[in-house]
A and B are shown apart, each in its own frame.
Chain A
Amino acid sequence: MSVLARTEELLSRPWTLSYQEHLDAHGTLPALAPHEVIALAEGAGLRGRGGAGFPLARKLRTAAQGRGRPLVIANGTEGEPAIRKDSTLLMHVPHLVLDGLALAARAVGARESLIAVHSGLVAEAVTQAVAQRPDRVQVHVVPPGYLSGEASALTRSVLGGPALPFVRDVPLAVRGPQGRPVLVQNVETLASLALQARFPGRPPTVLLTVRGRDVQVLEVKIGVTIGAVLDTAGETDVQAVLAGGYAGTWLSAPRALDVPVSHAAGTLAAGLLLVLPHDACGVSAVAQLARYLAGQSAGQCGPCANGLPALAAAWELLAAGDPPAGTVDRIERLAGLIDGRGACGLPDGAAVMARSALEAFADDIVVHRTGPCGRRSAELPR
């Protein structure tokens, strides 16, 4: 399988590369003009790797054309408990990310750049790396949690406010809370940009976190099938796959194996492939995820604060077996009631997850109508 390379360029060493080692391994960063950086991002078709997949070149251009000097934030928070690709990247090659941050800052004419992380080993690695470099970057430690890394929450936290999402009339890259543009980019996106600068024309790759029997971070080309990735990862016991993230898409095997990992298929998002083995109950896994997402709601927005716990409760009734009549209809209705009705994408993602689960586990749901299926409850990281 030549399209797949595990721990290739980005993750080839089990330790943190110092600045000097990074320069020895990757060479110096070419001095590029702002428009050259944007052209690189455009030419390689780079898209954001935090989950939304927004085209990098468009966001850079928007921030560059905004009023006032942009603030640039590298987002290394990775709040989702199942995902490890960003922390792996920051622990091993932080300078690749920081090079990307320097390029993004140059592209938009920023004087101020920050890297935001949660506290812990990642923050230590990043703080050390920043101290080794000639450029000036601030490290901002964000409170833990799933939502604190959401772009608007992160921006507020960086500007001294609470790490809570807010409603924007225009994108942050056009105008942030202080008036000037704020460019928030995921750390993997920035590392890809730094690789493009050194190796223009290099086919862009993405990082995936594969979670089954093992937890692995793989570097793959976009468009590779889920089956090929799981083959390489040695995950053979596959009942179903949760693709993208906890607020992602459930696909049942064997169909899932032929689905590509791509933006178009909706399977890339934040790069999670979580494998549900045959002996685990999919409905219970969905109930756990729904409860997890409900627990992550900041409680700021009515439909999310009310709808996510209601959705989780409905899935729990279904998981327990013999639920009240109309529970499946209620799940569908609740998904419709939360979708698109919040300051951030959490309720939308919970709706995507719930709807895809209704389809992927349709047969199991029929079984659960009369009682529990007897399979073990799945254990998901929280």
Chain B
Amino acid sequence: MRRLRVDWPACKAHGLCAEVLPERVHLDDWGYPVVTGDVPEDLLRLAKAAVSACPVNALRLNPLKEKS
């Protein structure tokens, strides 16, 4: 399982992530991504495609553990 994270200051609402990975991303009122859940193995390929589709590199795919 991996976690999608948006680099909010970088994101410019191009919306490609929602087109590539509608299973986990839809767009809000202003065109910014709403991430709806973590990414299981079977969606990993598409999630990586969504990450590389972003023209401003604002989407990241991180491992789940993120606590200090």
Contact = CB atoms under 8 A, between A and B. Distances in A.
Interface of A: 58-59, 62, 164-167, 169-171, 173-174, 300-304, 306-307, 337, 341-343
A342 B9 CA distance: 8
A167 B62 CA distance: 13
Kindly state the interface size class of chain B when it binds its partner.
Answer: 10 to 19
B10 to A, nearest CB: 8
A43 B61 CA distance: 38
B68 A173 contact: yes
Interface string B1-32: 00001111111110000000000000011111
Contacts of A304: 8
Given A167-B9, A301-B11, A337 B68 contact: no
A243 B16 CA distance: 41
Shortest 10 CB-CB contacts between residues of A and residues of B: A301-B8, A300-B9, A171-B68, A302-B32, A306-B30, A62-B68, A167-B7, A343-B8, A342-B8, A343-B9
A306 B29 contact: yes
Given A169-B5, A169-B62, 6 more contacts: A167-B6, A300-B9, A301-B8, A301-B9, A303-B30, A343-B8
30 contacts: A58-B68, A59-B68, A62-B68, A167-B6, A167-B7, A167-B8, A167-B9, A167-B10, A169-B5, A169-B60, A169-B66, A170-B68, A173-B68, A300-B9, A301-B8, A301-B9, A302-B8, A302-B12, A302-B30, A302-B31, A302-B32, A303-B8, A303-B32, A304-B8, A306-B30, A337-B28, A341-B6, A341-B32, A343-B7, A343-B8
Contacts of B60: 169
Contacts of A307: 30
A302 B13 contact: yes
Nearest to B35: A341
